[in-house]
Amino acid sequence: MQAYCFKCRAKREIKDPQRVTLKNSRPATRGVCPSCGTKVFRIGKS
């Protein structure tokens, strides 16, 4: 799964993806950018 990294300004593959649920019960995925180490986040099914 990919997410947009704001530091690299590109779509990157999510490293160490974790499924999370938002307050409004929507699914999301949280992880780390493999090239710069910044946290990345993607809302939606994983």
- The DSSP symbol for 46 reads -
Confidence of residue 45 (pLDDT cuts 50, 70, 90): confident
Distance (Å, whole) CA 30 – CA 46: 10
Cβ atoms of 5 and 36 closer than 8 Å? yes
Q: Distance of CA 15 to CAs 1, 5, 11, 23, 44, Å?
A: 9, 12, 12, 24, 17
pTM: 0.84
Does pLDDT of 46 surpass 70?
A: no
Please write the tens of the pLDDT for every residue from 12-44.
999 999 999 999 999 999 999 999 999 999 999
The pLDDT of residue 13 is: 96
Torsional class of 24: left (φ above 0), alpha (ψ -120 to 50), beta (otherwise): alpha
